[in-house]
Every structure is written in C-alpha cells, then in structure tokens.
A and B are shown apart, each in its own frame.
Chain A
Amino acid sequence: MNRTVAPGLLEPEKIHLMEPEILSIQNAPIYIFNLGTQDVAKVEIIFNAGSRFHSLPLIASLTNELIDEGTSTKTSAQIAELFDYYGAHIQTECNVDYASVTLFTLTKFLNKTVALLIEIINESIYPEDEVQTYIQQEKQRLTINQGKVDYLVRKHFNAELFKGHRYGYFPKIADYDAIKRADILAFSKANYHSGLHSIIVSGQISDVSKKDLLKVFEQLKAKKTSTPYEINHPKPTPPVHKFIEKEDAVQNAIRIGKRLFNRTHPDYPKLTVLNTILGGYFGSRLMSNIREDKGYTYGIGSGLVSLSEDGYFYIATEVGAPVFEDAIKEIFKEISKLNEELVPTAELTLVRNYLLGSFQRSIDGPFAISDRFKTILLSGLSYDYFYNYLDIVKNITPQELLTLSQKHLFPSDLTQVCVGKKLL
C-alpha cells in the first residue's frame, strides 16, 4: 500500500435544498421543515421588532430578552418552571431589523410548549422588579466586557465604520439608566402584539397534527404587518487608523476592514469565495501565514457581514503585544498579494471543494436547514441565491477574483482599529 497517494475524490452530487411546507395564520407565513432523526423541534417566531423601531437604542433588545419574565397570571419563576419541566428552553435574539423568540422542545411536548410560548408573547407584563434586576445584571456584564480587548476592538471598529448610525452602536451604562418600563410595554404592544413577520418550525414533527398546531399558533395576537420605517443608509466614512491603549493587555486585538454591501449585491457571493481564501477557513492565507508559519496568534480570520441596509468586511485577531507590528505587516502583505497576483489553480480547487463540503454541512439536519432558510428569508431572497452561489463556487476564475479584490479590498481603503498595549 502506498500511503503517500491520496484516495481518489468525487464531486458531491447536485446539492438540493429542501423546500419548506408553507401554511399561514393571521396572514403571516409558517414555514415547516419536517425532518430529522430525533424527536425534537424548534419553533422560531420572528417579529418586526428590531432596534430600529424605537428611538432609544436598548428598548427593543430588553423587550425581547425579558419576554418570559412574567404575565398577569404567571410569575417569572412559574414560567421558567414550566419550560424547565418540559425540558424545553427558549432563546431570544434581537438585531437592528428583527427580533425573534425561539423554542427548543421535545416533539411530544410541542403543542404544550408552543402554547406557553404564545401566552407569554401575548401577555408579557414586564414586572418592574424583573426589569431592574436585569438592568443591574446587564450593567455588570457590560463593565466586565469593557475589560476585554476583543469586545473593545469590535465596539470601536463598528463605531468607526458606521459613525452615527445604529450599526455602529454599542451600549453605554447611561443607556441602561434611561430605560423605563412604560417604554418596554409600549414597544411590546406595538411590535409583539402586531408586527408578526413569520414563523419557522423545524424538526421531526410527523406525529403532530398540523391542524392542532395551527390552532395553537392562531392564539397569537400579532398579525402580519409591514411596519414602515425610514431607510437610513449609513454615510460613507473615510478609512482611519486608530489605536486604543489598554495598559494591562497581554495581547493586542486587531480589526481591519471596510464597509461593503449586503447579500443582495451581485458581488457578495463572489466575495464569499475571496474571503474564504484570505481568512475564511483553517487553511486560509491569514491562518497559514500568521498562525501556522509565524506563530503570532491562536487564531485569525476574516468575514463578511450582511446587514439589511449595508454590509462590511473585517479581519480579526489577537496577537502577542511584542509581535503586534509584525502581525499587521503580514496581514497587509496578504491583502496586497490578493490585489497583485492570480490565485493559483490548486488553491482555488481546494477552496471550491472545501466550500461545497462546508455548504453540505450547513444544510445538514432540520435546524441547520431552517437557519439557512431564515438567512435568505430575512434578506428578501430565495433559494436561487444559494444555487447561484454554488455555481459561482464551482466556476469563478482566478482573473475574476483578482478584479474583485482590486475593486473591493484595496489596502489603503481599509480602516484599522487596535486595542492593547503600546510598545515604546
């Protein structure tokens, strides 16, 4: 046997994305992915309740996070007791645009736990005491985060990229002091008692009668509404270089990047490939050079973020303070290389194969496929986005990547923010 020769490889068969079954209540769609090997389910209820819908920045996220802290008939403890009793748990999520409340449950308790979820969404009263306890916890967490270089660098980087816009917002202690229960109640009424966006159900739910499940969902007060809001595209900001000193830092945190655009831009899927080459996987150029060759860091990566009105590209790492300057030099060397040289065919083939395998992993199982579906749903796109992306992964050329890099990742256009210890 010759161990130096790799076994032969096969391309994956055509990748197919499972379409959900679509039902509706209150004019809002319910998307159902009935699959999986385990008798578990996930129910995600999405509202037009992001932070853009209130003038104070934290009201939306508090309304979202505190939704299970009490109704007129059940205390916070009783609600927790019930969910815990069924072995279920809920997760809340809130960004600039949307807020969601997600339930994870054993299928055998699905109808009961969904009914409870809907009861709290409809009837939440946000008791003053719970609001205050939570605010104290959050203020403490914020103070602790402010001692972390990775938190600080994210905060300052976003603030530079999105000056004066919600996308650049990070909470301050004073913002917590400005919170009033009345604002939360009003927000809940406006955005959780109407403002329903959609519901996504996934998991092994073959044994559940859809009719019964629909009946439970119909108890939701919220109707589908398209709450109007003013589109507020962030203004372009010139690139800056900023260093924030943190004397006791053992490692310096670095963020380099720029504003771009979101998933709906035709270059976005192509940039996904370029980003992967640069810093999007373990074998990426940044990892190979800065970790695996130089040993400057435990990890380095780059990414693309798609927001409803904008998007951005970033490189992030934490490196030993003494090698900080060298690390930045190497990062820019890699970016320049992308701008000057064609990506070798062998490297591109590897990235193509990696991305195809990675895509298969990302749609494997009920929760994974529903997450993928949610991404395109909330971007206002369809599965065609992914089929187009897969075509691009298979066919993009080194020349296209070079042009793309020159167009979007020019070194002098990049903003650079660092937090850490300044060496003399």
Chain B
Amino acid sequence: MIEFEKFKLENGLTVIVHEDHSTPLVALNILYKVGARNEDESKTGFAHLFEHLMFGGSVNIPDYDNPLQMAGGENNAFTNNDFTNYYLTIPSQNAETAFWLESDRMLSLAFTEKSLEVQRNVVVEEFKQRYLNQPYGDAWLLLRPLAYKVHPYKWATIGKELSHIETATIDDVKAFFKKYYHPSNAILSIAGDISTEKAKELTEKWFTPIPAIHFSKQILPVEPVQKEKRELVVHKAVPSGNIYKAWHCCARSDYDFYATDLLSDVLARGKSSRLYQSLVKEKKVFTEIGAYMLGDLDKSLFLIEGRLTDGIAPADAELELMKELELIKQVPAGEDELQKVKNKTESSLVFGEMNVANKALNLAYFEMLGDASLSNEQAALYNKVTANDIMEVAKKIITPENCSTLYYLSQNN
C-alpha cells in the first residue's frame, strides 16, 4: 500500500507525493507520455534518441549530470514504445537540486549541434551493442513488423534502421521537444524522505513558471484484426535455434489484462510452471522457455519464446508446445495452480515496492494508466481472476490465425 497525495499545477503538470522517512533519500520520477509509438514512420528511434539529448544541458544549466552528482544524486532514464521515464535518487537534504534540474529541462533544452552529433553516434553504438552484436539480438526487430502491419508498435524503440538516427536534424529535435515535452504531457512523482508540504512548495517554486502548451491528442492507427497465420524463418550465425510466437491480445487497461497476465504465469512462470516442467524437464524439446504479455497501452502481444534443444526439429518442439496450449484452452487450471500464480504475483508486487525509486515509478506509471491509486488495487484485481477467465482468454487469443511465428534458426543446420 503506497499512500500518496496528488495535485495538478495550473500549467497541467500532474504531481504525486509519497512520504517514506525510513530512508535518507528522495526519488524523483518524471514520466513523459511519449514513446516510439508516437514517432513518424520515416523517423523512428526518435523518442529514444531524444532521451539521450535530455542529458546534453538545458536552457539555464549547461550540464545535467555534474550538479546532480555534486549533490550526491544519481539518475537514469528509459524509453519504451509507450513512454519515456526519467528517474533519480538524491540525499534528502539536497532534494531541491533535483527540482531545479528537472524543471529546467522541462522548460527548454540547450539544443547544441555537438550534443546531437555525439548522441547520434552513441545511439548507433547502442544499436550495434544490443541488437546487432548479440546472438538473437535482432529477433525483436524481425518480430515486430511481422506481428504489426499498421500500428507503430511495428518498430522497436531503438528504431527501424540506423539511418533514421543518423539523419536526425536539430530542427527535428526542437519540434519533438515542443510537441511532447511540456507540463500537461508529464507526470511528476516524488517519493521518500520529504514532507508533502515541502514537496509541494518545491514543485510550485520550480515547475509553476513553465508555460502550458496545448497539443491535440495524437490519433494512432488501429491494428486490423489478424486473419491468417504469419511465419518468418531466418537462419543466422547462432549455435541453437529459437522460436518466438506472438499472439495479439488486449491492452494494459483492458479488463482481460489480469487473466492474460496470469495465463502467462500458469504457462511459464517459475520452474514449476507447465511449459517448463513439460517441455524443458520431461520432453526436453526446449532448454529454456518463457511466456509473457507486453502490457502495452494499445492492443498488445502475448509472447512465448523458447530455445530449442540441439538436435530437435523446430516443428517437433512446436507441436509439443501447441499440445500444452490446447490443454489450457480446454481444462481450467486447478485451484492450487491458480492460487500459486496469484501468490507469486502478490509476492512480486510486495518486492516491487522495496525502494523509493520503484514506488515513485509505480505511482507515475499507474497515473499514466488513469489513476495512481490503481497501484494499490493491483493485488485485488489479480485476485478476482478465475480459472475460467484464464481459459476463456486462452481460447480467445491462442488461435492459429492470430499468431505470428519467428523461427530464428542456426545457419549450421
């Protein structure tokens, strides 16, 4: 249970404060409601490149990191398809430094050519390090455009291709900032060793002067219902084969989310899960197997990925996998099995609130979904799910025509 207070500034910034005086630290989290899904198809990878530029100095402060480190703070950021998140922790006596830094970069960036040029290179190296120079690193770059034909989820956060990042101009950057980085498109959450009054006072002092900007809501294309199965086979320089199966499923805010999430847990969470026991331990057709749903803001994907045991034909392993999936569509999970995945979920919710940085992120995330108080309702929402709900969800999404399969195989066989 995270107790919090919420208020809104006149410029549209939503602010959430949670006090926790068991720590000497304060966490500050700013979530901007912009991700790769908001990008133009000819300029992909932009939201993430922009995240890098947010550290290149702001209008009144030439360097972001130095003053923060001087105050004993540490920060980082991440971008996904739906949003961009910046977070820091700082010793509480220096909390004001965080408000000063974050408000200035919400006000305006320095926009230097040098910073853009360097960060373009850094992101290109990131692309290489994480996606091109790793075994299976490009699997998602192949899977997304297979599963999505219209919706911007068809490209990955890092971008569709290196050239999009390499050709980004300073004008692109400025336009992007203006459109997405303003108070009413952001959620500020503050958690830790700070009183609500003090947090309010500092927020008003530093964030109130930032002018409001109004943009009409972006309408994203809706992915049409998939009507036939899609397959892609690639042979690459990897020693063993992987299979990725992606089915379209509901969005994070849909009622079905909780049953869908528990379906993935019944299938593959932990060593006692169905797929692990049956396919890895007993039949030994896979050496690793995972199932999860992405939980995106728009209609999302339900994924199963497995690494083939060397010497097992992909079709044979897939057949065994499909038998297990048929089973969950026909027979509801047992009472103990359901209780087990609910207990696991409860446990990870509790472990997920171990530090103020996580609590601040949770509050901002659920506020983006609609209301920060949702963070305190998750356990109950998972608890309401019945074995029948899980079976119904499985029936609905696990169909051949709803599925895209990537066979990522070794070029050696």
User: Which A positions have Cβ atoms within 8 angstroms of B?
Assistant: 1, 3-4, 6-7, 9-10, 12-13, 35-40, 76-77, 80-81, 83-89, 104-106, 133, 136-137, 140, 143-144, 146-149, 248-251, 281-283, 291-299, 318-320, 349-351, 353-354, 356-358, 360-361, 364-365, 367
Contact A296 B351 (CB under 8 A): no
A367 and B354 form a contact (CB under 8 A): yes
Q: Are A354 and B69 in contact (CB under 8 A)?
A: yes
B344 at the interface (CB under 8 A from A): yes
Q: How far is the CA of A346 from the CA of B308 in the complex (A)?
A: 55
Q: How far is the CA of A295 from the CA of B126 in the complex (A)?
A: 10
Pairwise interchain contact B93-A12, C-beta atoms closer than 8 A: yes
Cβ–Cβ contact B209 & A148, under 8 A: no
Chain B residues whose CB sits within 8 angstroms of the CB of A320 once the complex forms: 124-125, 128
Task: Give the Cβ gap from A179 to chain B, nearest Cβ, in Å.
Answer: 17
Evaluate whether A86 and B70 lie within 8 angstroms (CB atoms) in the complex, with A80-B272, A143-B240 already known.
no
Does B213 sit at the interface, judged by CB under 8 A? Answer: no
Q: Is the CB of A354 within 8 A of B271?
A: no
Residue in B128, B280, B351 whose CB lies within 8 Å of A251:
B128
Q: Which of B65, B117, B125 contacts A283 (CB 8 A)?
A: B65
Q: Find out whether the CB atom of B239 lies under 8 angstroms from the CB atom of A295.
A: no
5 cross-chain pairs, A with B, having the tightest CB-CB distances, nearest first: A357-B72, A295-B121, A87-B347, A80-B271, A80-B272
A136 touching B309 by the CB < 8 A rule?
A: yes
One of B38-46, B129-137, B216-224, B388-396 at the interface: B129-137
Q: Which residues of A contact B96 (CB under 8 A)?
A: 7
Q: Are A147 and B354 closer than 8 Å at their CB atoms? A: no
Asked if B133 and A251 make an inter-chain contact with CB atoms under 8 angstroms apart, the answer reads yes
Number of A-B residue pairs having CB atoms within 8 Å of each other in the complex: 208
Q: Is the CB of A3 within 8 A of B61?
A: yes
Which of chain B's residues 88-137 have a Cβ closer than 8 Å to chain A?
A: 89-91, 93-94, 96-97, 99-100, 103-104, 107, 117-126, 128-130, 132-135
Complex contact A281–B118 (CB within 8 A): no
Q: Does B198 contact A (CB under 8 A)?
A: no
Q: How far is the CB of B383 from chain A (nearest CB, A)?
A: 13
Q: How far is the CB of A355 from chain B (nearest CB, A)?
A: 8
B270 within 8 A of A: yes
Stretch at the interface among B17-25, B169-177, B180-188, B315-323: B17-25
Query: Could you give 12 example pairs across A and B, Cβ below 8 Å?
Result: A3-B60, A6-B61, A7-B94, A77-B281, A80-B271, A105-B347, A281-B74, A291-B118, A295-B118, A350-B69, A356-B91, A357-B74
- Given known contacts A4-B60, A360-B24, what 17 new A-B pairs fall within 8 Å (CB)? A7-B96, A38-B350, A38-B351, A77-B271, A77-B281, A86-B343, A87-B344, A136-B310, A140-B239, A144-B240, A148-B134, A148-B135, A298-B129, A320-B128, A357-B90, A358-B72, A360-B25
The smallest beta-carbon distance between A368 and chain B, in angstroms, is 8
Cβ–Cβ contact B347 & A297, under 8 A: no
CB <8 Å contact, B284 and A133: yes
CB of B163 within 8 Å of the partner chain: no
